[in-house]
Amino acid sequence: MRITAADVPALERGVALLGSGGGGDTMTAAALLRQLVTHGREPDISGALDPSTLVMPVGIVGATAAFTEKLPSGAEFTTAVSAIERWTGARAGALVSIEIGGLNGLMPLVAAVELGLPCADADLSGRGLPRLDQLSIAATGRGLAPAALAEPGGQVLVLAAGSDESVERGARAFLASSGGWAAMAFAPVPAGELPQCAVMGSVTGALELGRRVLAAGEGPEPDRLAEACGGRVLAMGRVLEVSRHPGPGAHGRAGFGRGSATLTDHRTGALLRLEMENEYLLALRDGHPVASTPDVLAVVDHRTGVPVPCDGIRAGIEVDVLQLAAAPFWTDPRRLPVLRPRAYGIDSDPVLA
């Protein structure tokens, strides 16, 4: 299938919801994609690639806020993909997104058009994720290295070898000393092996999710919105308090920012607290865990239905909080530990839909 101009709003809404409060602002990425498709350059989404086709994972990493301030030149993905092709000697026949949640649900489609390649109907996350070493290729033991980063200033870094954790650390160190964000590419995977190491059907799934939500109208009743999402309502109410603090680090390194948001459920009077890092991770009702990662916890503006990101939630706004079931890939007992609350340093068992 091809993504048309009529599909862009629904796809944008779907990937924003799957970001679980993270993944970065989709507005700029949607504008870039819309510009391409309105000129007849429509991304080709394929769910049936030849098993021998080499599929290269690509995406944007780093400070997504910097992405909107320091716009891409258009050469970053081409540079990163070329670097991996030179290093591995393998030529990409298709691309796949590293993350369906947020702007990475859209930017790999832009890259696919620029490179003249199809994009696999899959991704390596099934939602929004903060760390590279949590991607599905890491969770299944394939490993992240080699990986290439190309930042908008022209610098290119190839991380040729190392553990998944060292690739994550090396990428963050590079981003901190360069432009804040970069296009990233990993060694290609044969299309026939994607079902074992990726979340399949995620692009068309995000598109269908967005279509259902937009069809529910602007500011739909929470139960109607939850039905459109295939999820459930955790609470609806006014945000009372938002607190933010540094997160736990590791090995002397600073962690991501942490925080919590508390609201009163208008229907029951219960207090719902959301624990968040880059994404919403855990929901507690009157102190008891009621939903958690790897399920998607989506906060939407009550009046508009537009997703509210972790860095945009504020005291005083009226919101609905939804729980969307995780992709089955992550509920497999072999992979659940990668995204359960304790993987983020939160002492709670997973609470899934």
350 compared with 64, residue with greater pLDDT: 350
DSSP class per residue in 168-217: HHHHHHHHHTTTSEEEEEE--EEGGGHHHHSEETHHHHHHHHHHHHHHT-
User: Across all residues in the chain, what is the average pLDDT?
Assistant: 94
- Looking at residue 47, what is its pLDDT? 87
> Is 90 exceeded by the pLDDT of residue 163?
yes
Q: Confidence band (pLDDT; 50, 70, 90) for 10?
A: very high
288 compared with 249, residue with greater pLDDT: 288
- Looking at residue 166, what is its pLDDT? 95
CA distances from 14 to 61, 154, 213, 229, 245 (A): 20, 32, 8, 9, 29
Q: What is the pLDDT of residues 94-117, one digit of tens each?
A: 999 999 999 999 999 999 999 999
3-state secondary structure of 245: strand
Q: Confidence band (pLDDT; 50, 70, 90) for 251?
A: very low
Mean pLDDT of 165-178: 92
- Looking at residue 9, what is its pLDDT? 97
CA distances from 145 to 9, 11, 14, 151, 162 (A): 34, 30, 30, 18, 6
> Is 70 exceeded by the pLDDT of residue 255?
no
Spatial separation of the C-alpha atoms in residues 170 and 129, rounded to whole Å:
18
Q: Which of 72-76, 116-120, 333-337 has the lowest mean pLDDT?
A: 72-76
Spatial separation of the C-alpha atoms in residues 81 and 148, rounded to whole Å:
8
Q: Confidence band (pLDDT; 50, 70, 90) for 352?
A: very high
Q: What is the pLDDT of residues 119-142, one digit of tens each?
A: 999 999 999 999 999 999 999 999
Spatial separation of the C-alpha atoms in residues 126 and 158, rounded to whole Å:
26
Q: Confidence band (pLDDT; 50, 70, 90) for 257?
A: confident
- Looking at residue 35, what is its pLDDT? 95
- Looking at residue 252, what is its pLDDT? 46
Mean pLDDT of 192-219: 95
- Looking at residue 245, what is its pLDDT? 84
Q: Confidence band (pLDDT; 50, 70, 90) for 323?
A: very high
Tokens of 268: 């029951």
* Paired sense of beta strands 119-123 and 45-46, if any: parallel
253 compared with 151, residue with greater pLDDT: 151
Mean pLDDT of 173-202: 94
> Is 60 exceeded by the pLDDT of residue 253?
no
Q: What is the pLDDT of residues 15-45, one digit of tens each?
A: 999 999 999 989 999 999 999 999 999 999 9
- Is residue 346 within 8 A of residue 286, CB to CB? The reply is no
- Is residue 175 within 8 A of residue 61, CB to CB? The reply is yes
Q: What is the pLDDT of residues 175-187, one digit of tens each?
A: 988 878 999 999 9
- Looking at residue 137, what is its pLDDT? 97
Q: What is the pLDDT of residues 268-303, one digit of tens each?
A: 999 999 999 999 999 999 999 999 999 999 999 999
